[in-house]
A and B are shown apart, each in its own frame.
Chain A
Amino acid sequence: MADLVESFYANTPAFDDAPPPTLSPEDRSRLLSSFYPDYRPEGKATLKVGPNKGTVVPQELADVLEARSRLTSPRNLPENPDHDVDILILGGGGAGITAALFAAKEGRSVLLATKLRVGDSNTVMAEGGIQTALGEEDSPVVHFRDTFRGGHGANDPSLLSVLVAEGPEMVEWLVSRGILFDRDPQGGLSLRKGGGTSRPRLISAKDYTGLELIRVLKEDVVNAPVEILEFSPAVELIAGPDGSCAGAVLYDLDSRRYIYVKAKAVILATGGAGRLHLAGFATSNHFGATADGLTMAYRMGIPLVHPESFQFHPTGVLFPSEMAGMLITEAVRGAGARMYNRLGKRFVNELETRDVVASAIIRECAEGRGVKTPQGTFGVYLDLVSIDRETGEGTVEKRFPNIVKLMKRHHVDPTKKPILVYPTLHYQNGGVRIDAKTRTSVSHLLVAGEASGGLHGTNRLMGNSLLELFVFGRRAGMEAVELALHRPAFSWKESSLSHVDRFEKDLTAAFAAEERPMAPVLFPDYRRKES
Chain B
Amino acid sequence: MDNRIEKNETMVRVSINGREYSVPQGSTMVQAMWYTGHEVIHGVGCLGGVCGACATVYRIEGDFRLRNALACQTLVSEGMSFSMLDSYPIQRAHYDVAALKDPKEELFTYYPESATCRNCNACTEVCPQGIDVRDSVWRANFGDFKAVADMTFSCVMCGLCVSRCIAEMAPHEIALYARRSYGAKELPFPPNLRHRLNEIHSGTFSGDLKRLEALSPEELKKECEVRS
Contact = CB atoms under 8 A, between A and B. Distances in A.
B46 interface: yes
The interface size bin for chain A is: 35 or more
B209 A144 contact: yes
A320 B195 CA distance: 46
Contacts of B206: 165
Contact of B2 (A117, A140, A526): A526
A409 B190 contact: no
Contacts of B51: 119-120, 124-125, 211, 286
Nearest to B214: A157
A322 B49 contact: no
Contact of B176 (A149, A187, A216): A216
Interface stretch (A30-38, A338-346, A400-408): A400-408
B27 A322 contact: yes
A208 interface: yes
Contacts of B47: 286-287
Contacts of B130: 405
B213 A157 contact: yes
Contacts, number: 233
A178 B178 CA distance: 10
Contacts of B95: 223
Interface string B21-47: 000011110010011111101101111
- From B3, B193, B208, B210, name the one whose CB has the most chain A CB atoms within 10 angstroms: B193
A427 to B, nearest CB: 15
Given A161-B212, A188-B191, A198-B227, A4 B220 contact: no
B200 A375 contact: no
B41 A406 contact: no
B224 A286 contact: no
A231 B223 CA distance: 47
Contacts of B31: 322, 526
A148 B92 contact: no
B223 A164 contact: no
B193 A189 contact: yes
A78 B215 CA distance: 51
28 contacts: A124-B45, A124-B50, A139-B205, A146-B227, A157-B215, A161-B213, A169-B200, A178-B185, A184-B192, A187-B188, A189-B193, A216-B176, A284-B48, A286-B45, A286-B47, A287-B47, A320-B6, A322-B1, A322-B6, A324-B1, A325-B1, A375-B6, A376-B7, A401-B154, A402-B50, A409-B73, A527-B35, A528-B3
B191 A116 contact: no
Nearest to B86: A117
Contacts of A198: 227-228
Contacts of A524: 2
A393 interface: no
Contacts of A85: none
A209 to B, nearest CB: 10
Contact of B224 (A1, A149, A164, A169): A149
A262 B37 CA distance: 37
Nearest to B26: A1
The interface size bin for chain B is: 35 or more
A142 B155 CA distance: 36
A180 B149 contact: yes
A490 interface: no
Contact of A177 (B6, B28, B36, B180): B180
Contacts of B223: 145
A117 B157 CA distance: 13
A46 interface: no
A527 to B, nearest CB: 5
Given A183-B187, A215-B176, A376-B7, A277 B224 contact: no
A526 B129 CA distance: 27
A38 B205 CA distance: 35
Given A141-B208, A165-B200, A219 B190 contact: no
A210 interface: yes
A253 interface: yes
- From A215, A222, A253, A284, name the one whose CB has the most chain B CB atoms within 10 angstroms: A215
A172 B197 contact: yes
B96 A402 contact: no
B143 interface: no
Given A175-B193, A277-B2, A523 B41 contact: yes
A119 B176 CA distance: 15
A232 to B, nearest CB: 12
B221 interface: yes
A187 B190 contact: yes
B224 A145 contact: yes
A171 B193 contact: yes
B5 interface: yes
Contact of B205 (A116, A165, A321, A374): A165
B75 A178 contact: no
A134 B2 contact: no
Nearest to B38: A527
Given A117-B45, A177-B183, A528-B3, 19 more contacts: A4-B6, A124-B46, A140-B200, A140-B205, A145-B228, A153-B217, A161-B213, A168-B193, A169-B197, A179-B183, A180-B179, A183-B190, A189-B190, A211-B50, A215-B155, A223-B95, A231-B42, A320-B26, A321-B26
